[in-house]
Chains A and B, each alone.
Chain A
Amino acid sequence: MTKPDLRPDTTRQDPPTIRDILERALPARLRRGTGGDTPGNRRRVEAGHLSWTRMFEVLRRDRLGQIGVTIFLVFLIVAVFAPFLAPSEPMEMHRRADGTFARMDQPSAEHLLGTTRMGRDILSQLIIGTRTAMIVGVISAVITSLVGMNIGLIAGYFGGRVDNILMRITDLVYGIPFLPLQIILVVILGPNLLNIILAIVLVAWRTTARVIRAQVLSLKNRTFIEVAKVSGASDWWIIYRHLAPNVLPLTFVYTALAMGWAILTEASVSFLGYGDPRLISWGKMLFNAHTAQATMVAWWWTVPPGLCITLLVMSGFFIGRAYEEVENPRLKER
């Protein structure tokens, strides 16, 4: 006798796959981590239940998100394998066949993206510079969102004095203009990558905090939170087991955006000359080109780094956009 299908709106049109059967056979504890495009995971994503492995399910449906992830992954691979991919040392000054320094050479078979005024290979610089961009971008984004999300959660949930204090701090930070802050930090602490990341994080968390706090405010009085309290859940349990998963999709959106902003910021800082002088970065390349007054003349020097910055920032936006969808779980009508 066939088992009647009790589900009112079933996404299960196909027969169960081996994955589904395995998923069911696993004891409860182990089920949570299963990834893959299964009906079970699709339903979980529809309900807004994001876990690490289910992040990918979201992207399956979003074309722009897929493009964003692809771009990001390409840059990630390049960053990881940079020393092997770069044709030469980025600071090496090359000579032409006739012995002169290969200054401002146009793209050729030897130097695919040409050379700088000092005879350095631009492609190598670009590839090595990817590392800087990724490190700054990813680390800043992760720290920013962690700090911002937690501040938003705590301020929003506890309210009262805690909220007041945290929000006044946030307001203060909103007033701080970024560049002067960076300059001050560079002067005080010295121009290195860590300080740049520090400066970015010190400022960037404010938006995430505000947005997450607003979402928490709307969530904390909902009945399921009262239900959790009646069950004996402590404040921290509620924050991290109920509220955090519900704000995670939004946090992720802002993480992706923060990555884009961080990369852009580092590039601007380096371009203005306040970056780490020992580091190769795309912004630094633009700075060098500008200082060498080559901007109008050597397009091969300025366009590639500019393009890379644009592409990587865009990928951040696309990925963030894809997760906005998960914000409101696709609910069937009651």
Chain B
Amino acid sequence: MNELLQLENFSVEFKIKRGIGRAVDNVSIDVRKDENFGLVGESGCGKTTLCKAIIQLLPGNGRIASGSAMFQGRDLVSLSKAEISKVRWKSISMIAQSAMNALDPVYRVEDQIIEAILHHTNATRAKALERTRELFNLVGLPQSAIGRYPHQFSGGMRQRAIIAMALALDPQLIIADEPTTALDVIVQAQILRRINELRSRIKGSMIMITHDISVVAETCDRVAVMYGGNIVEQGGVHQVLLEPFHPYTLGLRNAFPSITGARTELVSIPGSPPDIFDPPPGCKFEDRCPFRVDRCAQEQPLPEQVGPDHYTACHRLEDHELMKRAAVERKTWQGTKAAKRLEIQGGYSGRPTQQKETQGGEPA
């Protein structure tokens, strides 16, 4: 039994004045032991909602509409409030987005970690302090940071402190929601490196929620791509990022230019995500998909296996080679329903050095 967390047909709904919306729609994924699992998608795709729902942290108007979340032999969905609060922090901990800004400014950082420990276990204060020092070490905070307040920590240090807090009780699973988005690039590299190092030093799995596939490429073993509440593709990180099958994944790759290798064109996916309160009847990506056929508008595709441990939900899998080649060109994406509707004038597609001799950049 290699699975740590198994989600089966998991759905989450929100109720507002306008109606009911499905933020998470029939998601089935599993996170295995000792692995980093990436959950990739853009704003509004449901990745944060999914993870909050697992540990029952949804706001008042949200509910788990269907499905199960099996963790250590129990279905998290069915746990009572008391039972789930025992699971939180000790077995599954979550680093919320911009948690680094949520540290209480009037308490020392180490006190906040100690308090978390004392609250969830019956350790003594001395033991908790010792554990905190250990954690500071683990995340790369200097011992001189003990005794300081959050405002005396830099951004990177605060994020490390938050990670320390998440690790405090040795959870089996940490959910990290955009842990490096607000950080500068060098600090981000430090944190990602540290996250990779931690894997050899502690046991446990991580779900890394991010919109940045570079982060996934650097830290994750397996990844799932989300769009409009659905998982459109999932599998090993090599397969999904290097040999994607789903048109959205193909398009997403174009949006992440690489600093290495040759310069390729910057291509976008015109349009915007579907309204979860008024979803299209068929595939959610149909409106922005260059490869749509009539079936796509009528029927939602189900995940199918396309490789060892690699699944994709798309009606046109057999045309995969064609899609892969066409996806790198901008004109492919100008032909979608969304693009035509928006009649975007793209404008520029060449290289910036075409017209000017290098005159610029000369200092006085």
List A residues at the B interface (Cβ < 8 Å).
4, 6, 8
Contact = CB atoms under 8 A, between A and B. Distances in A.
B152 to A, nearest CB: 25
B229 to A, nearest CB: 16
B275 A4 contact: no
Contacts of A8: 272, 275
B15 interface: no
A50 B343 CA distance: 34
Nearest to A8: B275
A6 B340 CA distance: 13
Nearest to A6: B341
Interface residues of B, number: 3
A4 B272 CA distance: 15
Interface in B263-298: 272, 275
Contacts of A4: 341
- By secondary structure, the B interface counts as loop
B349 to A, nearest CB: 25
4 contacts: A4-B341, A6-B341, A8-B272, A8-B275
B343 to A, nearest CB: 11
A9 to B, nearest CB: 8
Nearest to B18: A9
Contacts of B272: 8
A6 B344 CA distance: 14
Interface string B327-358: 00000000000000100000000000000000
Interface in B289-341: 341
Nearest to B277: A9
Nearest to B275: A8
Contacts of A6: 341
Nearest to A4: B341
B214 to A, nearest CB: 24
Contacts of B275: 8
Interface string B170-199: 000000000000000000000000000000
A8 B341 CA distance: 14
Nearest to B44: A333
Contacts of B341: 4, 6
A332 to B, nearest CB: 11
A333 to B, nearest CB: 9
B280 to A, nearest CB: 14
Nearest to B342: A6
Interface in B233-277: 272, 275
B274 to A, nearest CB: 11
A85 to B, nearest CB: 45
CB-CB nearest 4 A-B residue pairs: A4-B341, A8-B275, A8-B272, A6-B341
B339 to A, nearest CB: 13
B329 to A, nearest CB: 26
Nearest to B43: A334
B52 to A, nearest CB: 16
B183 to A, nearest CB: 21
